[in-house]
Structure 1
Amino acid sequence: MTTALHGFLAGLTLIIAIGSQNVFVLRQGLRREHVGPVVAVCIASDAVLIGAGASGLGALVRAVPEVVVAARWAGVAFLLGYAVLAARRALHGGESLQVDGTGRGARLGPVLATAIALTWLNPHVYLDTVLLLGSIASTHGGEAPLFAVGAIAGSAVWFTALGLGARHLGRLLSRPRSWQVLDALVALSMVVVAGMLALG
């Protein structure tokens, strides 16, 4: 139980750091749009990556640095593209504002595709889950799987709270201007993260 708790706290600490994935989950939660599937994609992705890291994949990735470099530049390109879309919404007010719980502003397929891309094309995800959590898990020896289970539980708690808890901010974002400001912040955060990735 101590090992699992250690994994839970370590995973929660790394995942809470605001990044492109968290911003997207927050945005979907505020719109009440396909929140369950988006949260499920994020949790499942983290489970796969954390499990891979705990099973030793992190050591293999460290031995082939070209993989990290390729993922970094793919992430930069995707984040900048997403930033452009968010900036356009902020400038032109093109967002379909739905805070009434209907969640029908966008089709499920594109939303899930974005969630998957923001997760799997972000090198920070690999650094945090596969490399860092994998390295910490290896220090627990035979209890590494318990550490991984704890870290996955931390991911599940965080994304569920973020996605479902965001709806309580709906009244604060009931005006179109508020959503334009949110999209401007989303665009800015994407550019910042892309810049950090480009600079290594």
Structure 2
Amino acid sequence: MFDHPVTGAAVAGFLLGGSLIIAIGAQNAFILRQGLARNHVFVVCLIAAICDALLIAAGVAGLGTIVARSPVLISFVTIGGAIFLFGYAFLAFRRALHPHALEAANRSAGSLWAAVTTVLALTFLNPHVYLDTVLLIGGISGGYEGTARLAFGLGACVASFVWFFGLGYGARLLAPVFVKPLAWRILDIIIGLIMAGLAVGLLLRFANS
């Protein structure tokens, strides 16, 4: 089933988007804390996912189109994207060697406005979000054409919704597990393997093109 170009592109987008977004950061920590406190969980998850989707769409529609028109840019983005993914994989494996439990202590319930402004700030004031969504995902989408490119972008967007809502509402179930450094070690190893696999796939597709 995954041999179909559109399906394969959607799966590739989902895996890439999921791998990038899972990386432990301030945004994920905030949503995890909101989930543990059951404080405006739906709103913060929805805002974080929609923001990601908008940035991915901008990358796929804008940068992806520009890149698609230039074989030189496609080559540059593909090779650069592979190097970037290998770098992410290296960092994930390095974190796995020295894992740390993510502190997500409960806080007193705050206002809806405070929750919304915080998640927006953690999203748009984070330079990595533009690198991941607009540049990396948008640039790599330039290697796909037509419906396949749209499927790639949708796959990445779905990964954002699945992750944020899964993290927010699954926080209470995950908390006892991810208090242990071993859980983060396993997660980082999985992230590293996915990143490295995607990088190899990019290079193989580039070599066969």
**TM-score with structure 1 setting the length:** 0.61
Match of residue 164 from structure 1: 169
Tell me by how many angstroms 1:145 deviates: 1.2
Corresponding residue to 1:116 among 93, 115, 120: 120
Aligned length: 134
Q: Distance in 2 between matches of 1:8 and 1:122?
A: 21
Tell me which amino acid in the other structure corresponds to 1:161: G
Is this contact kept in 1: 2:48–2:120, CA < 8 A?
yes
Q: Does 1:52 align with 2:61?
A: no
Tell me by how many angstroms 1:146 deviates: 1.1
Corresponding residue to 1:153 among 127, 138, 158: 158
Is this contact kept in 2: 1:30–1:169, CA < 8 A?
no
Corresponding residue to 1:6 among 8, 12, 16: 12
Unpaired segments of 5 or more residues in structure 1? 61-89, 97-104, 173-177, 179-200
Is this contact kept in 1: 2:33–2:106, CA < 8 A?
no
Q: Structure 1: which 4+ aligned runs deviate by more than 6 Å?
A: none
Q: Distance in 2 between matches of 1:55 and 1:171?
A: 41
Matches within 5 A, 1:116-195: 116-142=120-146, 143-168=148-173
Tell me which amino acid in the other structure corresponds to 1:29: G
Q: Distance in 1 between matches of 2:106 and 2:9?
A: 48
Tell me by how many angstroms 1:141 deviates: 2.1
Unpaired segments of 5 or more residues in structure 2? 1-6, 68-102, 180-209
Report the RMSD for the aligned CA atoms in angstroms: 2.5
Is this contact kept in 1: 2:36–2:106, CA < 8 A?
no
Secondary structure class of the residue paired with 2:170? helix
Q: Distance in 2 between matches of 1:14 and 1:29?
A: 21
Is this contact kept in 1: 2:33–2:107, CA < 8 A?
no
Secondary structure class of the residue paired with 1:56? helix
Tell me by how many angstroms 1:112 deviates: 0.6
Q: Distance in 1 between matches of 2:125 and 2:136?
A: 17
Match of residue 192 from structure 2: none
Tell me which amino acid in the other structure corresponds to 2:137: L
Tell me which amino acid in the other structure corresponds to 2:149: A
Change (3 A) 1:106 1:138: same
Tell me which amino acid in the other structure corresponds to 1:162: L
Is this contact kept in 2: 1:25–1:39, CA < 8 A?
yes
**TM-score with structure 2 setting the length:** 0.59
Tell me which amino acid in the other structure corresponds to 1:148: G
Change (3 A) 1:117 1:146: same
Corresponding residue to 2:35 among 29, 37, 55: 29
Secondary structure class of the residue paired with 2:110? coil
Tell me which amino acid in the other structure corresponds to 1:107: S
Q: Distance in 2 between matches of 1:56 and 1:6?
A: 19
Secondary structure class of the residue paired with 1:33? coil
